[in-house]
Chains A and B, each alone.
With several copies, the nearest count.
Chain A
């Protein structure tokens, strides 16, 4: 499986990244992408800024481990993870996951698995600023339940 991990400290262009991701494919029949965007509202009201922190080195290794697990579970031709760090504004892309496989189920499930990992297991810390003040975000109960679906 061809894989690429990128921790981006500046905005990235999702469609440009997808053109690049697709250019390397030889005989994929299915390409799934997930794009996460900063939402302009949370439960407490308007969100004006989001700040993302990571642990350089350890975060990348952990995502590499998740990609290895995906490769062992599904027949993937390629997988991509791009994750922003730093300060983000509403509507900006935070995360892009792409997977490619012969048949669609592998690509869907692997993208779903990788997103569950990024959402509540990968080493990122997310701080929201807005009407509700400034607060460090924790995954929702749903997010933990989603991630647990893949546990052995």
Chain B
């Protein structure tokens, strides 16, 4: 299983920070958003916003990057600390 992480307001939309996703083959981030779109168009649309960044296993990637089983894909909306 791969792990999807939804931070900030994306977690509200996803109904939780973490979600498991079974992968039979490597998929791009864009493919994963496409799968989510089938069940949750609102979340998928939020994930595809330009200001949302993606990280696979802790490294920032673009939408074409591939995730495989056991990988962790994080969706990072605009940050705010301090």
Contacts and interface: CB of A to CB of B under 8 A. Distances in A.
A and B touch in the complex (CB under 8 A): yes
Interface of A: 36, 52-53, 55, 57-58, 61, 83, 94-95, 104, 115, 118-127, 136-139
B5 A55 contact: yes
Contacts, number: 65
Tier of interface size on chain B: 10 to 19
Secondary structure of the B contact surface, majority rule: loop
A120 B79 contact: yes
Interface stretch (B19-27, B30-38, B70-78): B70-78
B16 to A, nearest CB: 12
B58 A119 contact: no
Contact of B7 (A53, A83, A94, A119): A53
Contacts of A115: 82
B4 interface: no
B41 interface: no
A123 B82 contact: no
A120 B74 contact: no
A57 B55 CA distance: 12
| Interface core residue of B8, B17, B81 (most chain A CB under 10 Å) | B81
